[in-house]
Structure 1
């Protein structure tokens, strides 16, 4: 038959009504062929005229429709050989190893598209059509193809497994339920399926949540790797800068030490040279006098000796060298003193360089921060650009929305962060009271809630003009030599770190470490109460230089 079908064209196997390959083809008295469902529906719509859609021949009575088995087999063979689409748009494919074959196909088995849990059989795209069109068969339960469908039949009663015993956790048929599981908790297979499906969905959701958590953890670790690399590169650069400066300072001090010693040695040498010159001059005078004395002593002229003796007997004009000393400079302790001075200088320079380098590192993560008006306490006054906040003398009439702080004079930034690092600076000059830091975006903003890490706040503040505090639990004072005029705030989310800096002095003030951040963080600001104008100056978010 396959050889014959190969000589036929696709048009010869098409129904002229649905324009698809015949499904359950029938032949009417005029000799034309149609799908049984197509011609039946056509005549149902046109009840007055029972005629052939092709040749328009009329029939007095509706012909009895019988499936033409020969054309049906030819159409099935054509579908198999041509790889055409089934009448329902399903792919007709020969069953391969691992596929569920059609139980109805004779000869070459086609791949099953559906299995019937009522008939306990599997059907290809050609043979499943009766289950989609015939009334009684449409009530059967069709599922995706199932291999070994006989496993769904009770081996004892030969009835479908359609119930589930929750007590014994086993599937069973209706006869098993009345014979062996009478007092057990029995539900339908569908109900248990839905329950187990719900459990699987919850399990899948939980697994997906766990996967998401681990992906977030990977992202955090990747960010930490990036931060580590950046920190290492900056630390190396800072180290090169600091050690170069220290070595230059040490070299300069060494040169100063050498120059000082050489100057003192040169001064001593010059003094000695002057004395030697003076002594040599006196020796020359004395040598001349010696020659004159010797010459006079050898003369035989009595008158000349006596006349010259008085002048010769007078002492030459010389210095008394008994007390003259060349004082050697003492170098004892010179190197030690220079080293001590160098250490002190290096210590001061080191602190300055280290603090400056540390501040420069965090300033690299500067963020553009602005204030969010919807979060501001009604006593607060915000600038139009969202960069300044101060406490007013009159409480404004504002809607008490969920985001607004109702009791504390706080305001949050528009920006929030759930990863990475960020830094910002705030001018606090001229104030007697302020609080700065970061808080969880989800923090409760109503009522009395102490500002502490336990309640989602990491902050420092000033009270009574000169009392600097860390808002820990309990509060701890900060001992500062001078009050900051500008405060820098740095956050590293993955490290759980919040640090505060005196920007102008490049001094680290305080750090919260080991923080366990969850959710979003936002910078928060509290300019403190007005205090009759004593604390009227605003907090100003400053650009990072």
Structure 2
């Protein structure tokens, strides 16, 4: 018979089942092969490293199918490591050896009994009372991270709530501006309506009065004619000799040469003048009451250090940082604002007033230009611009290209031809060409405005609208 001591030193059947055949330790992330053998994932990866034929390390079966996670074995190992309670005593003991835990494995982060030592070869082992502070220390770090995450989420929540309030303010302000502008146009239309109706009524009265005057003339002529007829008939009823003696006189007096009032060429109201194409005429007149901006700035992209007009066509320095939401589109810390619409094709042109601003940047950029960090404004960054700094006009290339300018332009004209891949800059005052970029633009580029931190506004000038009739 075998020595009982030898038997006790052997691993238990459960311990053997939960031990990796390669590393002879408790399974870590066990995977199952098609041949039904299981191994630690890392052990299997190491065994198969550099090999083209994937053989099972135990039975040498060629395993074509990919290993799958052995969830049941993993759960069994985890339960085994947790141990079990002795009935009646409530004491936790090693689930594999039914012995009390006396040590703590630093590598596997689990308590072990004295018979588990062969499962942890080369591992750092501590007495249980020394393992507790190690675990608590690591958990305190985790708790601190979680507490920081809680505070971070609270700040994020506050930003979202502030954004809701900002959106509400945006909506109310936009609604007010819409109603004000529509009301202004409505008043203009109302006045135009009244003027057109008044002109119609005036012509009506004039035409009716002219005809009434003719009717009055006809009424007088009719009375005179009736009197003449009566007088003539009376003379005709007298003595025959008297009729003969007065015949020439009566014949002359019975003549009526007046043909009455003549018909006018324009007796009726000129209805076509008043109502013909009335909508178009009103629209044509309204052109003088509205501005056509070729480009509109996007307030959602504006730097917190800039202020923008309600029409979104002018920006300048704001003395204090504004409480804007930190949305992804917004430039911060760079002092820029983009146009609200990008251009993907065609030709476009807009004029920008820069005045006496000592430092500014103006041009176009790709949509993905950096928003939340400082960056070098160059064509390499997807920005095609002209700028003024320290009295020098430059093409913002790498390196910068100084431009020779005969005079200080107050208004810069930007011409964009997406079909040719060109953007050019001109002095709008005298039509002098300043700079042209020819490049391969992305699918869409956006107007870029950089007024700097100065009181002089950078403003988009209205376009002149013309009507071409064919």
Place the TM-score, normalised by the shorter chain, in its bin: 0.3 to 0.5
Give the structure, 1 or 2, with the largest relative contact order (CA under 8 Å, sep 6 or more).
Answer: 2
The structure with more radius of gyration: 1
When the two structures are superposed, what TM-score results if normalisation uses the length of structure 2?
0.46
When the two structures are superposed, what TM-score results if normalisation uses the length of structure 1?
0.41
